[in-house]
Amino acid sequence: MENIQHISIQVNGIKMHVAHIGKGPAVLLVHGFPELWYTWRHQMLFLSSKGYHAIAPDLRGFGDTEAPPSYTSYTAFHIVGDLVCLLDALGLDKVFVVGHDWGAIISWYLSLFRPDRIKALVNMSVAYNPRNPSVKPLDFMRRTFGEDFYICRFQEIGWEEEFAKVDTKRLLASFYFKRNPTPPKMPKDFANLFAPPPYTLPSWFTQQDLDYFASKFRATGFAGPFNYYRCFDLNWELCAAWTGSEIRLPVKFIVGELDMTYSMPGMKEYIHGGGFKEAVRGLEQVVVMEDVGHFINQEKPQQINNHIYDFISKF
């Protein structure tokens, strides 16, 4: 880990913290929520040992990267713009991209907006969902899961203050170590009702890992990350011109069997029944990992390392 270098780069009007290691073809690693560049620690060391340059930024609003105050500064265009500007600043024309969770969503958008910058894509946990012109995302979520669904709850300005009332380590542990694929619900009085059992560190996560994540989220809070969720409908409006667009670059998709995203209504049928392949024409492989939860690249690092390397080494 001490060989990983850290730099700050001015991109798209903000200062972005970037961790990187290695030399060779570049692999851009895009994290999710509630994560940081650190989620890719295992992949960075592995890829650099295989002759790749692993690049993992803290996304806008996370960790040591600046966090603009307005939620309207967190659209897909802003986040993709940050990444394109990062590639420009590093002098990189085309890169391999690996995304997880929100990082997967952003990587799908990057594939739509700037496929010319991507050699091949490995995405995890969140499948590409084509824009439905007849229903806004939040209307669908409220109708399907109710107002207590975590994404619906995150829409409330000030909800980050409710999160801040809860011990950060226990809060993060409740996310990271969750094995139940049911959609998370957060009642109105979340801080007073939050009572998970004492966490036990699984074999794939150390106290040092939890300490690092918790220290960063204690310092920054959750306003920046929540702003990604607050842009669901705004992204839907802004991306009307891409309705019906297909993703044609080479793609490998990996998801855990116990991942909530895999258990969403209709998702398994979509992924395996031809709908996913129809929208992502370049989809070459779908991998469902048994007995694995949402934070797949941390829970099964060696398997994920091999999946990434086996795919990108073909190009």
- Cα–Cα separations (whole angstroms), residue 156 to 49, 150, 197: 44, 11, 27
Write out the two tokens for 37: 């560049």
> Is 74 a catalytic site residue?
no
> Is 101 a catalytic site residue?
yes
Q: For the sheet with 118-124, list strands across it.
A: 5-11, 14-21, 53-57, 26-30, 95-100, 118-124, 251-256, 283-289
Which residue is catalytic, options 228, 229, 262, 270?
229
What DSSP letter does each residue of 238-300 carry, written as one string?
HTGGGTT--B-S-EEEEEETT-GGGSSTTHHHHHHSSHHHHHBTTEEEEEEETT--S-HHHHS
Which residue is catalytic, options 17, 31, 53, 294?
294
**Looking at this protein, which amino acid is placed at residue 106?**
I
Give the integer Cα–Cα distance in Å for 292 and 296: 6
In sign, the C-alpha dihedral spanning 172, 217, 82, 49 is negative
- Which 3 state secondary structure label does DSSP give 29? strand
Residue with tokens 């700050």: 8
Residue 309: other Cβ atoms inside 10 A: 18
Which residue is catalytic, options 78, 101, 128, 262?
101
Give the integer Cα–Cα distance in Å for 206 and 173: 11
Give the integer Cα–Cα distance in Å for 201 and 180: 16
> Is 116 a catalytic site residue?
no
Give the integer Cα–Cα distance in Å for 255 and 300: 11
Q: Indicate which residues carry an active-site annotation.
A: 101, 229, 294
